[in-house]
Amino acid sequence: MADKAQIQEAIKTQGEVVRKLKAEKASKEQIDEEVAKLLELKTQLGGDEGRHQFTLKTAKGTRDYNPKQMAIREKVFNTIISCFKRHGAENIDTPVFELKETLTGKYGEDSKLIYDLKDQGGELLSLRYDLTVPFARYLAMNKVTNIKRYHIAKVYRRDNPAMTRGRYREFYQCDFDIAGQYDPMIPDAECLKIVHEILSELELGDFRIKVNDRRILDGMFAVCGVPDDKFRTICSTVDKLDKMSWEDVRSEMVKEKGLSEEAADQIGQYVSLQGGMDLAERLLQDAKMSQSKQACAGLTDMKQLFSYLQLFQVTDKVVFDLSLARGLDYYTGVIYEAILTQTGPVPVAATQNGAGEKAEEGVSVGSVAGGGRYDGLVGMFDPKGRKVPCVGVSIGIERVFSIMEQKAEASAEKVRTTETQVMVASAQKNLLEERLRLTAELWNAGIKAEVMYKKNPKLLSQLQHCEDSGIPLVAIIGEQELKDGVVKLRTVHSREEIDVSRAELVEEIKRRTSDV
């Protein structure tokens, strides 16, 4: 083995190689290879010098969640899942990665954000970008022609993260979808009702649900003079109206996408329109729009949708908005997006004015749910091209969670991170075995109980732990209680104590914590 001085010299030389490659902005693979050589040399030294110094950070666009954040998160998930179940949905799961060809060509301009994995064992794989395409693959593969399902899982996007606004590279999606051949707009209306229920129940503040239809958009593009081959790319530009002004969107259409100024100006007149069933009726009479069969079909369905939404009592929050485009290629009919609005001061990180929004309508803090109808996606995977009509909605859980977290920080309310109902404590020494015996009894009866991991903890320390972690009850045993066959049950909040017989303890704890 080379002596220490030689290894140190080699480390110095290899360090220079790495620095030079970084300065020259060499490829990541090349730099990683040379860094690996450097680390190998350092390990040969042994001792502290050879120990690898880890960079203690999470990967870009990801985050850890502490117990308090997870408690808030769990509450949000429970609200969403109970809503999905209330509407009769079943649960499925799919792998976190798919064959690359499954995902390719399904997301339009967003396809560049898909994470591709290195070839492992002869299959080209990619991390899933959403839960919709894997769902369509699942339906085609298993020949499922109708199902109402929900799926909550992580997805991955090689995006530029804006984590203060709940935008990540790894994040959860909460999807609800109805697959099957049904009469028009009934499942679509239920999806919008679900968004309304969830956002109302989470008490995130005021919100609006924008709706439009891909057929109305495509008809509008056609009558405004957009060439067929530019429909999807112009659609992607219109989709930026929530982030960019009309002037910037018009400029992108004309200068970058090669659309005529006249066509862009005509689109501008339509995308500024908002309303309800009345707007759909008005557009059906519009001299230009009425020329498009596609647009008329979409507008007729939009009228039907609003009639069902009235029956579901959600029209107060729903607006027919011709600027809503949603960039994903697979949508074929109704599309929708829910945005939160607030009229008070907004954190700088959350501010993002939507195009054409008036000040009195509040400030848009971004989309928190979106979805639509995608009748052709399953047919792409089916060997015989059999179509399964689908409509669904995805809740933007990370953005919802960011808002809930801010609310929790702003309020003085303490967030409980455990569900422990009772602490088993003792006031005297040498009672560890008795505490453990009682704790086991409670666990076996389904009670959430804790015990301190010390032989002789001070009673004050045990009570303080309950105060700090929000445990509502303490079951105190001492020599006298053991003789009398009772347990002293203390309510932490009021400090009241009563003696309860050992046989009745479980029922008493359950009675007192039924609403906790």
Summarised one tens digit per residue, pLDDT across range 239-285 is 888 788 888 888 888 888 888 888 888 888 888 888 888 899 998 89
Write the CATH number for 22. Answer: 1.10.287
- 359, pLDDT greater than 80: no
CA Rg value for the chain: 30
Q: Is residue 366 part of a domain?
A: no
Q: Which amino acid is at 313?
A: Q
Q: Which amino acid is at 76?
A: V
Q: Is residue 346 part of a domain?
A: no
Question: Do 265 and 324 lie in a common domain?
Answer: yes
Give the model confidence (pLDDT) of 119-137 as tens digits.
Answer: 777 889 999 999 999 999 9
Question: Do 125 and 194 lie in a common domain?
Answer: yes
CA distances to 44, 177, 511 from 49, in Å: 9, 56, 60
The better pLDDT of the pair 54, 437 is held by 437
The better pLDDT of the pair 166, 403 is held by 403
Go through 127-161 and write b for each residue having 16 or more CB atoms within 10 A of its CB, e for each that does not. bbbbbbbbbbbbbbeeebeebbbbbbbebbbeeeb
The count of other CB atoms within 10 Å of the CB of residue 383 is 6
Q: Is residue 348 part of a domain?
A: no
Q: Is residue 155 part of a domain?
A: yes
- What average pLDDT does the structure give for the chain? 87
Question: Do 197 and 320 lie in a common domain?
Answer: no
- Whole-prediction pTM: 0.80
Which residue, 417, 444, 473, sits at the end of a domain? 417
- 380, pLDDT greater than 50: yes
Question: Do 37 and 168 lie in a common domain?
Answer: no
So what's the pLDDT on residue 449? 97
Give the model confidence (pLDDT) of 446-485 as tens digits.
Answer: 999 999 999 999 999 999 999 999 999 999 999 999 999 9
Question: Do 214 and 200 lie in a common domain?
Answer: no
Question: Do 71 and 201 lie in a common domain?
Answer: yes
Q: Is residue 356 part of a domain?
A: no
Q: How many helices (H) and strands (E) does the chain have?
A: 18, 16
Which residue, 417, 446, 472, sits at the end of a domain? 417
Helix (H) or strand (E) run with residue 261 in it: helix 261-271
User: Dihedrals φ, ψ of 360, to 5°?
Assistant: -70, -15
Task: Provide CB contacts within 8 A for 408, sequence distance 6+.
Answer: 68, 72, 415
Three-state DSSP at 179 gives strand
Question: Do 412 and 472 lie in a common domain?
Answer: no
Task: Provide CB contacts within 8 A for 60, sequence distance 6+.
Answer: 161, 169
Q: Which amino acid is at 84?
A: F
By the 10 Å C-beta count (0-12 exposed, 13-18 middle, 19+ buried), 112 is classed as exposed
Sequential DSSP letters for 52-103: ------PPTT-----HHHHHHHHHHHHHHHHHHHHTT-EE----SEEEHHHH
The answer to whether 279 touches 323, Cβ cutoff 8 Å, is no
Question: Do 100 and 167 lie in a common domain?
Answer: yes
Question: Do 226 and 259 lie in a common domain?
Answer: yes
Domain housing 485:
422-512
Write the CATH number for 305. Answer: 3.30.930.10
Distance of alpha carbon 211 from alpha carbon 393, whole angstroms: 12
Distance of alpha carbon 35 from alpha carbon 25, whole angstroms: 14
The structure tokens 């009229």 sit at 343
Question: Do 34 and 87 lie in a common domain?
Answer: no
Strands of 449-451's sheet, edge to edge? 449-451, 422-426, 473-477, 486-491, 497-501
How confident is residue 328, by pLDDT bands cut at 50, 70 and 90? low
Question: Do 201 and 214 lie in a common domain?
Answer: no
So what's the pLDDT on residue 193? 98
Distance of alpha carbon 407 from alpha carbon 220, whole angstroms: 41
Three-state DSSP at 208 gives strand
Closest CA to 205 of 314, 346, 340: 340
Distance of alpha carbon 247 from alpha carbon 251, whole angstroms: 6
Give the model confidence (pLDDT) of 13-48 as tens digits.
Answer: 888 888 888 888 888 778 888 888 888 887 777 655
So what's the pLDDT on residue 438? 96
Cross-strand bridge partners of residue 393? 176, 371
Which residue, 36, 53, 70, sits at the end of a domain? 53
Percent of the chain with pLDDT over 90: 52
So what's the pLDDT on residue 111? 78
By the 10 Å C-beta count (0-12 exposed, 13-18 middle, 19+ buried), 462 is classed as buried
Q: Which amino acid is at 90?
A: E
Number of compact structural domains in the chain: 4
